[in-house]
Structure 1
């Protein structure tokens, strides 16, 4: 028998207790776990509903049909740039915040309020420029809250429980778009409520988490930093931290593949299945429900099994292959039934990924004592693909002068395969 780099016997899960890779943390209390799950649900309900449904319907109500794909690409790409820059920046601020309310609470609250303001700007906009401005504010604010939220997991969950908590949070992350699309069924013709209802529910859930969060204030004020240190916020040396770099690349590729299709999911149903906006919204709601149920089951199972086996990498690789296979099924779908079958495969793949992704990331953090900044950098791997995916997706769809979704989906499946291969060189985590 051998031991890994954390001193554990291979095949044996680590004992509950202090995390050897960072600050000592005890098993979280049940109310904290419930609050954490509710906070994840609320954050992503408010963030993902506009991306999946509300924004697309808003664009269709303002922009001529011939320009809708381009307008959607401009809005989401610009917002994704803001998200990419905001996450590590606010993560660093969170690590250094000296508020008497703690390091994380202020940014959770301020981020959700800013997200609501941005969504209200979009809902009342009458042009692409104003919608873009609103989406920039919403994306930056949401990522301020997200950077603080993810850091609370590193702060409060020991290594031996991270797989299970990662799986639970994966369930909540995917329950959010399911809930959001079903909300959209009732407000598809009331744009203001379509943006307002999910965001208000999200704020309430995040505030509930804030109330139970054990967030200790810093005991000493951090030293002042210059402009060079601020720029360092956006950099972790791949040479010094190769495991972090490979994990970053794997998430980048898998997220890219996901958003290449998700951005155009509703329009895909309208074009390929020849559905009206109302029919496509209802079909999407059912498909996302099926997808979400598969994600919830596979995420919890993968997280639990990952903790039991003390392994993360095989689950990431299997997840990427499954997700790529789901894209291939979609590329050949010409009926709603096949669309639902593809959602099952995609859900199983993405759920398996979410079940272990966060646990693996925290295990390879360069500085476990100040996790928010590095987690913010890592979240660039989730936000940066949203910059490229809409433009790349629109380009692939337009190949041949039509709506060529098959090329888009085949390309996405190949990107998934690359994500599976990228996780193999990671050494610190098995």
Structure 2
């Protein structure tokens, strides 16, 4: 590991030699290295600027150039350096100068071994913290740059602004193999007001959810959507993954930001991705939490059922048999198609719609819990409350109160 470089400026020879001896001992215990010494500030200044030490140990009272004058000159070229003043006088005027020059420590002569050790430990800890923060800022800057580039890339692909060859080439920069098979766009937006306050806040969570998926690229830096592109999969794989991604997004983000998800249609070519993007945007205009335009060959079976549920979810007696009658299929066949297309069973989907409608009523009306239960298809308000709590992890009453504060 890199050692912290230290330079001593002290005009009294015996004190300087004593400090050197103390520091030589500390070099055995800490990542610190004495790189130079001088008896006055005038001689020290060019050496300090050349060596660029991390820590300066400076006597305040010296001939030719005082420690205060030397510190001021050094600060101009090395603003990050840590300065420790040494003085034989406990003078408030020196303390004021130290504050002005951002001196980190102030030692009084004679300097005891443990005092010097404690002071250097404190200074080194401060330097390490600064280094960590600088490294963290650098990493954050790099990550942000990549996120901005991904967002630009997805915008260009979604709007057809780059050709197929460039889309493949640029996608490779993000580790994406955009060649072949089929493609699908997924957009997520806020379920309440269609905007997020800060998409970047979801970046880490989304990375944790999706960064290991080799068939997915996403961007959360947008004023409108979380953007996801699925690629290089078959149609069946896309439908299944689209449903998995949608379910994951909702379960991960809905607790703090209720969202709606638009799933674009499956397309065969990169040049057709704008059509998938447009259909995903259109899906977001619907009133359903999950709107899917990728149903393809299942559309004739699923679409009438979704419309029926939207119009009749308040019906206490709605059952699987009721909706199967709309499809000209068997119950088992319909259940398989519905789960594949929607990513959940018919009962789970119906429950989701009922709970979402109840949340709107809890937020926007003064209707009683019992009345809301009836309006979304539950005979028993206690059973409704139990289902609501199981899905939302809080009771309807607490959910409502969180919007009334």
Normalising by the smaller structure, the TM-score range is under 0.3
Q: Which has the higher contact order (CA 8 A, sep 6+)?
A: 1
Q: TM-score by structure 2 length?
A: 0.20
The structure in which a higher percent of residues are helix is 1
The structure in which a higher percent of residues are strand is 2
